[in-house]
Amino acid sequence: MNRGIFITFEGNDGSGKTTQITLLAEYLEKKGLEVVTLREPGGTEIGEKIREILLDNRNQGMCPVTEMLLYAASRAQLVSAVIKPELEKNKAVICDRFVDSSLAYQGAGRGLGADNVWAVNRLAVDGCLPDITFFMDLDADASMARRTSKGEEADRIESEEMDFHRRVYSGYLELSRQYPSRIKRIDVRRSPGEIFEEIRGYVDELLEKAKG
Residues 6+ apart with CB under 8 A from 187: 137, 195
Domain boundaries, given as residue ranges, for the chain = 5-211
CATH topology of domain 5-211: Rossmann fold (3.40.50)
Tens digits of per-residue pLDDT, 165-211?
A: 999 999 999 999 999 999 999 999 999 999 999 999 999 999 999 88
Residue whose C-alpha is closest to residue 18's, from 195, 182, 162: 195
Tens digits of per-residue pLDDT, 25-66?
A: 999 999 999 999 999 999 999 999 999 999 999 999 999 999
- pTM attached to this predicted model: 0.96
Please give the single-letter amino acid code of residue 75.
Answer: R
Cα separation, 105 vs 99, in Å, equals 10
3-state secondary structure of 5: strand
Q: Provide φ and ψ at 193, rounded to 5°.
A: -65, -45
Cα separation, 71 vs 63, in Å, equals 13
Cα separation, 6 vs 84, in Å, equals 10
Cα separation, 83 vs 191, in Å, equals 30
Residues 6+ apart with CB under 8 A from 154: 57, 147
Q: What is the end-to-end Cα distance of the chain in Å, rounded? A: 8
Average pLDDT of the chain to the nearest whole number: 96
